[in-house]
Chains A and B, each alone.
Chain A
Amino acid sequence: MSITIQIPSALRAFTDRKPEIAVEGKTVREAIGALADAYPDIRPHLFDASGALRAFVNIYVAGKNIRHADGIETVLPDGEILALVPAIAGGAGQ
């Protein structure tokens, strides 16, 4: 399954400035994993030390946040476009 991943401007430093990356994958998990395998420097920005997707990384498939579908196990049809969209968070101290 050929999937196109749209890379936000903040992360293009890790994809040779490419705004879109084509990967193979049947699910979101496989596609994102393939992206991280192809561009290892992007991995720490997508996954935390335990390997879980960082809380601020949102993934949109066909324009919809996968949190409202099957999450990272969402099945991707061939030719689907997947967008990485950051949520922005922070705050003072504890």
Chain B
Amino acid sequence: MIRLPETLDAAIRAEGEKAYPNECCGVLLGRLDADGARVTEEILPIDNAREAGEQYHRFRIEADDFLRAEHVARETGRDVLGFYHSHPDHPADPSEYDREHALPFYSYIIISVRGGKAAELASWELTLDRARFEAERIVSS
């Protein structure tokens, strides 16, 4: 389960609309509560590192950007909880490409953007055996 305040839900939607028709991406920062639920406290937008001609259906957060995000998290007493990205004119379901490149433990939030307007938003977790994503419940807070 991941807690996502309405302000951050709106911020992710806005990022998706701003990047349209390309994919946006960024990092979810926050903490784990006593029950193990992820509590999102901040998003950190990251420039999509894929080449311009591929950004309509691909995103990449480089290792250096990941290290910077971890540094920001440590400095503010937070953890990297996961990542978000948009699917322009595609559902908020993870693709096979998403699965091949994902890691367990993290939350993967996907915002579908249709015709430039943010639509459904969903969160996913990769199973430990890498076989599939499972939907993660989002609790607005």
Give A contacts to B, CB under 8 Å: 8-11, 13, 41, 44-45, 54-56, 58, 60, 65, 85-94
Q: Are B23 and A88 in contact (CB under 8 A)?
A: no
Give the residues in chain B near A85, CB-CB below 8 Å.
Answer: 63, 66-67
Give the residues in chain A near B94, CB-CB below 8 Å.
Answer: 90
Closest B residue to A63 by CB, please name it: B67
Within the assembled complex, what's the spacing in Å between the Cα atoms of A13 and B129? 11
Q: Are A89 and B58 in contact (CB under 8 A)?
A: yes
A89-B58, A91-B58 given. 20 additional CB < 8 A pairs?
A10-B105, A11-B103, A11-B104, A44-B129, A58-B63, A85-B66, A86-B63, A88-B60, A89-B61, A89-B97, A90-B58, A91-B57, A91-B87, A92-B23, A92-B87, A92-B95, A93-B90, A93-B95, A93-B97, A94-B57
Give B contacts to A, CB under 8 Å: 23, 25, 50, 57-64, 66-67, 79-80, 83, 85, 87-90, 94-95, 97-98, 101-106, 108, 128-130
Closest A residue to B112 by CB, please name it: A92
Closest A residue to B58 by CB, please name it: A91
Pick the residue among A41, A45, A91 that contacts B98 (CB under 8 A).
A91
What are the 6 A-B residue pairs with the smallest beta carbon separation, nearest first?
Answer: A91-B58, A92-B90, A58-B63, A92-B87, A90-B98, A88-B61
Q: Are B66 and A86 in contact (CB under 8 A)?
A: yes
CB B6 to nearest CB in A, in angstroms, measures 25
Q: With A9-B105, A13-B105, A45-B103 known to touch, is A87 a contact of B60 (CB < 8 Å)?
A: yes
Q: Are B23 and A13 in contact (CB under 8 A)?
A: no
Give the residues in chain A near B50, CB-CB below 8 Å.
Answer: 89, 91
Q: With A45-B103, A55-B101, A91-B98 known to touch, is A9 a contact of B79 (CB < 8 Å)?
A: yes
Within the assembled complex, what's the spacing in Å between the Cα atoms of A40 and B94? 27
Within the assembled complex, what's the spacing in Å between the Cα atoms of A12 and B5? 28
Q: Are A45 and B67 in contact (CB under 8 A)?
A: no
Give the residues in chain A near B64, CB-CB below 8 Å.
Answer: 65
Within the assembled complex, what's the spacing in Å between the Cα atoms of A55 and B103? 12
Within the assembled complex, what's the spacing in Å between the Cα atoms of A60 and B64? 10
Give the residues in chain B near A10, CB-CB below 8 Å.
Answer: 103-106
Pick the residue among B60, B97, B101, B128 that contacts A13 (CB under 8 A).
B128
